[in-house]
Chains A and B, each alone.
Chain A
Amino acid sequence: DIVMTQFPLSLPVTPGEPASISCRSSQSLLHSNGNNYLDWYLKKPGQSPQLLIFLSSNRASGVPDRFSGSGSGTDFTLKISRVEAEDVGVYYCMQGLQTPLTFGGGTKVEIK
């Protein structure tokens, strides 16, 4: 199974400031089709997870452009250019390359 490791576990942020979350996989997520099968999801309290980024760097429909994803192979990053209060929750990276799909342990983003 592919092990996904996220850091930090907790990220206190100031509104208007940038934030960054890292995710590392135990093996390359680069498919032969040239895409990295790495997604980012946000789980807000009491809500279902929502897709932010798919294939490492593609924003999902309706996701604000302050969210961006980057990385290839085994190292990936989610960046929020200017954090807003509504961005609080737990962020998960997930590899979609093979089953079992595996998630990182989550990064809890909270407002300072």
Chain B
Amino acid sequence: EVQLVESGGGLVQPGGSLRLSCAASGFTSSNHFMHWVRQAPGKGLEWVSRINPDGSHTTYADSVKGRFTISRDSAKNTLYLQMNSLRAEDTAVYYCARVGRGTYYFYYGIDVWGQGTTVTVSS
């Protein structure tokens, strides 16, 4: 079964750090673009970051640029999000997600999502 399982969320003080992990199973995550998307309480979906299949290119939302780092470990089939200098506005459920791929199109949407991990930034 194709699955993404996030971990690493929790309660952290403003200015603190957390590292989120996203373990992939049932597929090789390094064959796919991967994203982190978050949803703050009562708010909509917000894209956070993306990494390309070989890990050589990363992009970030302006709101997290310089504070968050996305990375992947192909051997462990795992995606990471290192979050530093956390702020109250980073409080959200964080989802890792996979961009689908196939034989006809270049893009198949974000077709697999993890269950999410909750990050709460509060003193």
Interface residues of A (CB under 8 A from B): 33, 35, 37, 39, 41, 43, 48-51, 53-55, 58, 60-61, 90, 92, 94, 96, 99-106
Q: Are B113 and A99 in contact, CB atoms less than 8 angstroms apart?
A: no
- The number of residues on chain B lying at the interface, defined by a beta carbon within 8 Å of a beta carbon of chain A, is 26
B61 touches A100 (CB 8 A): yes
Q: Is the CB of A49 within 8 A of B95?
A: yes
With A43-B45, A49-B95, A102-B47 as contacts: A54 and B115 at CB distance below 8 Å: no
Q: Which residue of A lies closest to B109 (CB)?
A: A54
**B62 contacts the other chain (Cβ, under 8 Å)?**
yes
Contact B107 A51 (CB under 8 A): no
Chain B residues with CB below 8 A from A33, complex form? 106
Query: Is B44 in contact with A105, judged by CB distance below 8 angstroms?
Result: yes
Instruction: Give A92's nearest chain B residue, CB to CB.
Output: B45
List 10 interface pairs A-B (beta carbons < 8 Å), by A numbering.
A41-B45, A41-B110, A48-B95, A54-B109, A55-B108, A60-B108, A92-B44, A96-B109, A101-B35, A101-B50
- Decide: B113 and A60 in contact? CB cutoff 8 A: no
